[in-house]
Structure 1
Amino acid sequence: MFYGERELKVETVDDPAPAPDEVVIEIKASGMCGSDLHTFRGPRLEAPTIAGHEPAGIVVGRGSQVPQEWVGRSVMVHHYFGCGRCDQCRLGWTQMCREGATAMGATAPGSHAEYISVPTRTVLPVPEGLSHLAAAAISCGTGTAWGALKRLDLHGDDTIAVFGQGPVGLAATQLASALGARVIALDISPSRLERAHDFGAWETLNPAETDSVPDVVRELTGGRGVSKSLETSGASSAAQEALHVLDLWGVACWVGVGSTIHFDLTEHLYKQITGVPSWTLSVPAMEDCANFVVQRNVDVDALFTDRWRLDEAAAAYELSERRTAGKGVFVP
């Protein structure tokens, strides 16, 4: 349970009872995400909430409106809950619900638990061959990377600079490489750059070791710059550089929360630059990502460096807050 102001407790609560349109899921994996820290560090919560929003598991219970066939299925969950009726919900963009959405682990009970109850419309069957760990990652971190690459319309003939090689950036490096693109991975951590190389990066670059990231990127690309760039760290310096490394007609995308960008429009206008933000992904895109991972044999499980029990939550978030480790997951 998150209380805010860096306080958490492991507590016993009643098992969830499903509403008529809900299923109860026994959690097999619940991934840790950097955005958890916003609630963990944030102001004192009016009421504590169960943390976590990257769940995967097995359906063990159902509401009266849910067919019996759901019981026993391995499933993944899109962790935003909307009204289910508006145009955005019908498209699968429940986080953009016109009536307002709730988010697991923040404004709705999360997945760091043994059981959760969620609306069936947010649940997807796990494709055969996909592990619960990978399904959990696709629920947010890896899914966020996939959503950004789709916003960028990335192709195999692109060269993309990925700023930040934390869990989302590393997933972007992995997926972009699997799509056939050349990846220039950037991070100030040598160990993260080593992992990026192992995950398929064409080149790695430490911004702390150069006076000009754009100049180095142009040296690597025959003087032109990259066709696409993606910023995942939330650092304002990286968010700005994501624009400056682009070639003519380049496209930059930002998913890292917290950055501020200031730029001279004229500089980018004459290069015909496009800039887009990206916020996680839709339910259909989540299904597409899962199928791609299986079909291309992408080792998403390798993203996870730390596995925790629920009773180890304090140590898990202490490590997560240092931002020195890889991706963690609770396996209740």
Structure 2
Amino acid sequence: MPARIVVTIWRVMKTRKFRRPNAADLSDYGCFVVLALGVASLQMIDISLIYHVIRGQGTIKLYVVYNVLEIFDKLCQSFGEDVLQVLFNSAEGLSACSTDNVTFELMRFILDEAIAVVAFVVHSFVLLAQAITLSTCIIAHNNALLALLVSNNFAEIKSNVFKRVSKENLHNLVYYDIIERFHIMAFLLFVLAQNILEAEGPWFDSFLINASLVFLCEVLIDAIKHSFLAKFNEIKPVAYSEFLEDLCKQILNDKPDDRQKDLTFIPLAPACVVIRVLTPVYATLLPAGPFIWRIFWILLWSVLTYFMLAIFKIIVGLILRCLANWYVNLRLTRKQHVD
């Protein structure tokens, strides 16, 4: 998205001719505005104040707070998908409308953009509060993290295993669990940034242990949860192979007609949180000097970070495509042997 926006701006400056943006460009502009305003909103939040307020609560209250935030996270995530889809539809309508309807479509796009900004700012604040709560439990020395993980995850088991779910609903639940992993990674990155800025003495070993504990608990609880769900709803384990095959086909851009649902991960809210917590870390790397010199280093670090992330994305994408192609071929071979 940033590269496409820069290319578009450069083309306008070079040709000095403004053309009506297409739907893809308008969607990029809309997402960029959401991201920028989300980061700006989080910059105004005092993390230390929220941290000390949460830290003053007991373990039971932490459990309640974390569960409430988790519920709001799922609600915001579901609402955000619809809001972003409406924004993209408005962008498409604005790019393809006639001259007479430009004003109406423009007002519609601005209104949808405002709703998207509010929705994702709220979602990013919820994720930030979750990250602060998890950080509070990790830093505490009274086994608050273990109590939170055990109580929260077993509550998740209780709320899911005795439900009657269809195969399609189970498919959706698997996708939500995948998205939850990315949110946990953002939370742990927040904890890492806080330790870099504020921790005293050796802390990295403790961080690795706690981060591993969080991930292992999530994986173990999800395995137990899906085992019971499959048993009580008489869903064969091969269904999960079908879910994985469907996900691999999404990576390969293979879109069969019978596909029920795509994995929809909207990274805007987690990106706002990550940028918010990494900004102070980058600020510590800036050398003292004139304002122009500091601007130069800010731009340099920003460009280097962008290129590193772009290279990382390309490498991960290639690896995922290779693995997806291998698994799809494996499934095809197995089906041929069965037939």
Structure with more relative contact order (C-alpha pairs < 8 Å, separation 6 or more)? 2
Q: TM tier, shorter chain?
A: under 0.3
**TM-score, normalising length from structure 1?**
0.28
Query: Larger Rg: 1 or 2?
Result: 2
Query: Which structure carries more strand by proportion?
Result: 1
Q: Which has the higher helix share?
A: 2
TM-score by length of 2: 0.27
